[in-house]
Amino acid sequence: MDHVDRKIIAELRTNGRASYAELGRTVGLSASSVHERVGKLEAAGVITGYHAVVDARAVGLGVTALVGIQPTDTASDDDVAVALGELDEVESCYAVAGDEAFVVKVRVGTVDDLELALGRLRRIDGVARTHTTVVLSTRFEGRPNNTSLGRPAGDARGGVAS
């Protein structure tokens, strides 16, 4: 993971469909070299996938809520997490510090759907209480943080070697 890899990653984070030729031009390498590097980054689990970003309202998902989940005393966190993952409405799931075990992001079409989704959440074994915060507007979301790009080569903390 050197400076060039980071530049490639930064580019692919903002334009996930950039061609290898294009990437090669921005980093000053041949397309084949970039192809090789990207393959290694994918294999190493640094790049985990590519996704199209879709306007949620345009696909009928105009209502977003953040839901804190208080567990029962007897619950296994892992079981609860798995159950949360089985609900299609739950887009993201974070285990958190504090008196709630999880915070999940729920996305649905209408407030009626939200009511249904919350009902399903509460019916999960191990869920004692939920605390819902309705999102009024998404100002921005999933923005790439490029802080790490300025750092010297070996300074990535936390694992996943190349």
Partner DNA sequence: ACTGAAACCGATCCGGT
Partner DNA sequence: ACCGGATCGGTTTCAGT
Which residues make beta-bridge pairs with 64?
107, 135
* Phi and psi at residue 18, to the nearest 5°: -55, 135
Long-range contacts, stretch 49-52, CB < 8 angstroms, 24+ apart: 50/12, 50/16, 50/17, 51/16, 52/16
* Contact flag: residue 7 with DNA (CB under 7 A): no
Residue 154's binding partner out of its own copies, DNA, none, with CB under 5 to 8 Å set by partner kind: none
* Contact flag: residue 86 with its own copies (CB under 8 A): no
* Contact flag: residue 76 with its own copies (CB under 8 A): no
* Contact flag: residue 20 with its own copies (CB under 8 A): no
- The DSSP line for 141-158 is -SPPP-GGGGS-GGG--S
* Contact flag: residue 31 with DNA (CB under 7 A): yes
Site string for its own copies, 96-135 (x = CB under 8 A): xxx-x-xx---xxxx--x-------------------xxx
* Contact flag: residue 29 with DNA (CB under 7 A): yes
Residue 108's binding partner out of DNA, its own copies, none, with CB under 5 to 8 Å set by partner kind: its own copies
Quote the least distance from Cβ 36 to DNA, whole Å: 6
Q: Which residues of 37-68 are buried (b: 16+ CB within 10 A; e: fewer)?
A: bbeebeeeebbeeeeeeeebeeeebebbbebb
Quote the least distance from Cβ 48 to its own copies, whole Å: 5
Chain positions contacting DNA, by CB under 7 A: 4, 19-22, 24, 28-33, 35-37, 40
